[in-house]
Structure 1
């Protein structure tokens, strides 16, 4: 594939996101300053979003990677493992709040069937059972599609969708904030082909995917020790089947810190010696801006001094 022409400051940029308008993904993209005033391309799924990036149709794509209730988004994790030369350049958090919406003229007592994406439906089950105990459920492909289906069919009376959907379509909110977990948050990542690392901020995250060398007792422990012995905390560890045989897994890992931090770099080198396949997805600022905490013996200066000490031994320098 020929290289795309270099971007200049005034080059129009296209960003892909899971659409249509009104989705949580669109809300995440709205948090990206560089995307303001640029072209936003609505796509149907993660694969299409990443294909836009690989082909050069878009400079970056916003995709969901983790939910605080449901865990990791397997479609995203598997795509990042299989599509080479992609990098995460930022992460963004969106509070997940659902509303029950309907066409104008529908009241809550008129609702007998609800359109909802299965994940959204599961996160609102307690409210639905308390307020619509005899309702039926029609699964939908996305949170926004569930609402738009109300215009295409009379099979459902209402839908579970983001409340912002009423700003884009002629719908009304019958009940707001109906999620069972008021602290539910979805984590999104902005993915591009850029290999330029964001500068360390002290509040960073490094994402990788690594495979175990073989299926044996202690293999996962050895993988984790690459981080624990360097004082690197893991905020995400999720297994995904490689797919070529039973018992073969890769692990999606988020490590606290930046690849330019000595402790993180040393851990990744240890992991590279251990694992037959390590995919570096990027180092980028944490969405919550929380500084990474670690004990003093894992300071950069400690690693640098240890390397200097070894260099001195090899070169024959007298010890001080």
Structure 2
């Protein structure tokens, strides 16, 4: 009797097929051959994980041109029991597509998501100086609106992967004004132990300040700086219960298993009324974290042993 096959895992992602989020999910080895569930927005993807409908969700969290994705940051703050287990980078580039047989000179109305449109405006101004813009709900929705006629546009700005899913005429490639543009994605699951440290890791947390007074932001930052920890991202988001109340989304270099990071997190826990630990995970660029020798694990362990010796009355050595 053959062994029973393991059940397939489900991954939620911003759909429909052909989005940059799908391209990010395709980078995850354990997701290949599993069930990919397209959803309408980031909050829905994370809610799938929280409710057990999906085993993981791929979400966009930051763009190198437009900065942090506020809807994703807010969802991570409000939906409990989520963990980031991986980070993935997708270069941003767009194609201009239309119904088969369309030519560039036929285009006067372009459908595009507002962010994509802003990132391609230089190219459009040069090649289609008299065009008008029709906003679309997503990069893929812009193409669907052109194909089914609902948008009224003759062409759409879409991800390159759109050609794998729709019969379109590619009128132009590499529309992006900044060729170095990249979007950072996160793979999020339910509560699990963090992946093992690699030496090239990030730790993500969301921290609320205890009160609105001078110096509290500095106190929060000192939890990291006094332990030699670099922050690769810090962004404020309104909590929403009153004016002047903010939470801070933070990416810190290092892993929770590192002594200096563990010490910093305990400092945050003492300082803040609410700390959301989102996870420690390998950096997408695999860049090894460098720090001074006096912030090594051994130094923190030796300092604790020294203090225990003082308390127990051990003689100096």
Deviation (angstroms), 1:9 = 7.6
Equivalence for 2:224:
227
Q: Which whole-Å CA distance do the structure 1 matches of 2:213 and 2:178 have between them?
A: 38
Q: Which whole-Å CA distance do the structure 2 matches of 1:16 and 1:127 have between them?
A: 33
Pairing of 1:124-203 with structure 2 (within 5 A): 124-153=120-149, 155-203=152-200
Deviation (angstroms), 1:217 = 1.5
Change in 2 beyond 3 A, CA 1:147/1:247: same
Equivalence for 1:214:
211
Deviation (angstroms), 1:12 = 1.2
The answer to whether structure 1 residue 204 and structure 2 residue 208 are counterparts is no
Change in 2 beyond 3 A, CA 1:272/1:17: same
CA shift digits 1:116-135 (9 cap, x unpaired) = 00000010111111111110
Paired positions, count:
313
CA contact (8 A) 2:233 2:252 kept: yes
Equivalence for 2:69:
73
**Which ranges of 4 or more aligned residues in structure 1 deviate by more than 6 Å?**
none
**Which consecutive residues of structure 1, in runs of 5 or more, have no partner in the other structure?**
1-7
The answer to whether structure 1 residue 115 and structure 2 residue 100 are counterparts is no
Q: What is the TM-score of this pair, normalised by structure 1?
A: 0.96
The answer to whether structure 1 residue 253 and structure 2 residue 250 are counterparts is yes
Equivalence for 1:5:
none
Q: What is the TM-score of this pair, normalised by structure 2?
A: 0.97
CA shift digits 1:241-263 (9 cap, x unpaired) = 00001100000000000001011
Deviation (angstroms), 1:52 = 1.1
DSSP-derived class of the 1:200 partner: coil
Q: Which whole-Å CA distance do the structure 2 matches of 1:217 and 1:48 have between them?
A: 37
The answer to whether structure 1 residue 103 and structure 2 residue 99 are counterparts is yes
Change in 2 beyond 3 A, CA 1:229/1:200: same
RMSD: 1.1
DSSP-derived class of the 1:287 partner: coil
2:240 to 240, 243, 246: 243
CA contact (8 A) 1:163 1:173 kept: no
Q: Which whole-Å CA distance do the structure 1 matches of 2:112 and 2:75 have between them?
A: 25
Change in 2 beyond 3 A, CA 1:86/1:277: same
Pairing of 1:14-53 with structure 2 (within 5 A): 14-53=10-49
1:279 to 276, 282, 299: 276
Range with greater deviation from structure 2 (210-219 or 80-89) = 210-219
